[in-house]
Amino acid sequence: MTYEADNINHIPGPNEVNAAYADIQAHNKSHTGLGAGMVNIFKTMMDVQKADPDAPAEDIYNSVNDSLTSAAVEGDMAAEIEDMVHSDTFTRIGMKLAPHGAVLSVAGGERVTGRGLEPVIDNTELFKDYLDTLNPEDVQDGKMPILSAAVSGLSATVRTCFSPENRKSIPEGMQGAVTQVGEDALRTFLAIEPEYTRLGLDSESLRSRHSNKPEGQEYLWVSKGASQEATDSKAAHDTYRQSHRDADVFEDMENYVTYWGKDLLPEYIAADNRQYLDEPAKQGFGPAGWHQDGGQTKWPDALAFVHQLEREYRTKEFASEVRQRLCRSLDTAIAAIDKGEEPEYIVGQRADLANIRTAITGEDFDEEKFVKYTKQPEW
């Protein structure tokens, strides 16, 4: 595919978009996040002490604060420049640059970084038109990371707008507007989903194309002088990991749309945030492993969540789904004990786990035993 026609119509090709996005990523790395914040802090402290090693502590403290503020402002100015330089490129594909993430502050409250910049979909129809100009070979295997970032942005918006925990802090008068923002993100995903599927960027295609983990050493990083074999191995593993992360995010959006259609999106997000619905193998520190490191104190909240869902007709069916998923996690934990795969201190918890399972299923259980096992420890 050539891009001569695209240039005539002022539609940027993949190379131009990738170059613009690479600049944004470089800006974020240099001016935002923990790494940039720590660099600003240490550099500022060394500069101040070098300028006047004998200055009183209070003067040093004030000078450091002033310099840190300057570093943060410098980052803000750099962000404005990036916006001016690249906004036209992003606008032509239906995107815009938006502040993203939190700022890092020191104890006194002074900022040490600014917010990152993230390209977000601003014009759904124009973004769809841009996707229509692309071929699968243009975008697969991480060739256009901005497309993954676009879906990640939609996912973060939906989760932020519909999370019950987040909604608690939103003033009543703004609740409707927040809901609208979240629903707009869901509609945008519905609009672009067919194009992502055509391009092979949907969850099923990503997992199918990267079903087998690459052979060879998996490197976290390689030096500039690393062998070609090491460089290629790292690239292959990076592509594999990123593809599966992208598949997970795309699947998240698919689930958000599904539960939005069922009028259960806030409840789904609440359950998903707590890993109630995850397969045991995909959990971090989730229900299938709470018994391994003091997480048994989380079970009362899980039981209360199921009971809450059961009280309302709208959520009663979802209560059954959550219950089944939690029981799957418990069954996995109990099976590992029965197979002799666990140490003695976990084997001794089998009866408690079985009692929790009985409670989750809604059957009569030993409440005193449940409370004793799941109570917060007295340190």
Per-residue pLDDT, 228: 84
Residue 345 lies in a domain: yes
Average pLDDT for 75-90: 68
Residue 295 lies in a domain: yes
* 223/158 same-domain check: yes
Identify the weakest region by mean pLDDT among 66-80, 99-113, 118-132, 267-281: 99-113
Total domains in the chain come to 3
Average pLDDT for 94-123: 68
Per-residue pLDDT, 106: 47
* 143/69 same-domain check: no
Residue 126 lies in a domain: no
* 165/90 same-domain check: no
CB 152 within 8 A of CB 141: no
* 106/173 same-domain check: no
Beta-bridge partners for 99: 117
pLDDT at 161 > cutoff 80: yes
* 193/232 same-domain check: yes
For the packed helices 145-162 and 14-31, what is the interaxial angle rounded to 10 degrees? 60
Residue 272 lies in a domain: no
Identify the weakest region by mean pLDDT among 184-188, 215-219, 277-281: 215-219
* 3/110 same-domain check: yes
With bands split at pLDDT 50, 70 and 90, how would you rate the model's confidence at 201? very high
Per-residue pLDDT, 187: 97
* 8/109 same-domain check: yes
| 117 vs 60, higher pLDDT | 117
* 314/349 same-domain check: yes
Q: How many Cα atoms within 13 Å fall on the side-chain side of residue 244?
A: 11
Average pLDDT for 318-343: 96
For the packed helices 175-198 and 228-261, what is the interaxial angle rounded to 10 degrees? 130
Residue 127 lies in a domain: no
Residue 274 lies in a domain: no
* 256/335 same-domain check: no
- Could you give the CA distance from residue 230 to residue 189 in angstroms, rounded to a whole number? 37
* 186/234 same-domain check: yes
Query: In which domain, by residue range, is 327 found?
Result: 286-374
* 72/168 same-domain check: no
Out of 88, 117, 146, a domain closes at: 117
pLDDT at 362 > cutoff 80: yes
Positive or negative, the CA dihedral 144, 149, 150, 152 is positive
* 253/290 same-domain check: no
Per-residue pLDDT, 219: 78
At residue 377's C-alpha, the angle toward residues 372 and 379, to 5°, is: 150
